[in-house]
Amino acid sequence: MKDGDKVERLVRRSPTSLPPKLCPNCLKPLKPLSQLSGWFTPEYYYCDGCGYSGAVALESVKDEDND
Ligand SMILES: [Zn+2]
């Protein structure tokens, strides 16, 4: 009964394509800011459209899968 579910999960996995992060202000694609060094590297993004920069980013994924 769970076979179909299993297959679907495998197909859905796409390791090469990360979900794009969108700007919370103007919904444009964000550019990831890579921290140069440090023991703590939070996710940080920069928006070319409105100049927003921060750790808050929207994900354009509809199906959230907590595994
Ligand atoms: Zn923006």
**pLDDT tens column, 18-60:** 678 899 999 999 988 866 655 556 678 899 999 999 989 998 7
**pLDDT tens column, 50-65:** 999 998 999 876 665 6
* Cα 57 to middle of ligand 1, angstroms: 10
* Cα 8 to middle of ligand 1, angstroms: 34
CATH fold of 16-59, please? Answer: N-terminal domain of TfIIb (2.20.25)
- Candidates 31, 11, 34; CA nearest to 23 is 31
Residue 64: predicted pLDDT: 56
Please give the span between the terminal C-alpha atoms of the chain, in angstroms, as a whole number.
20
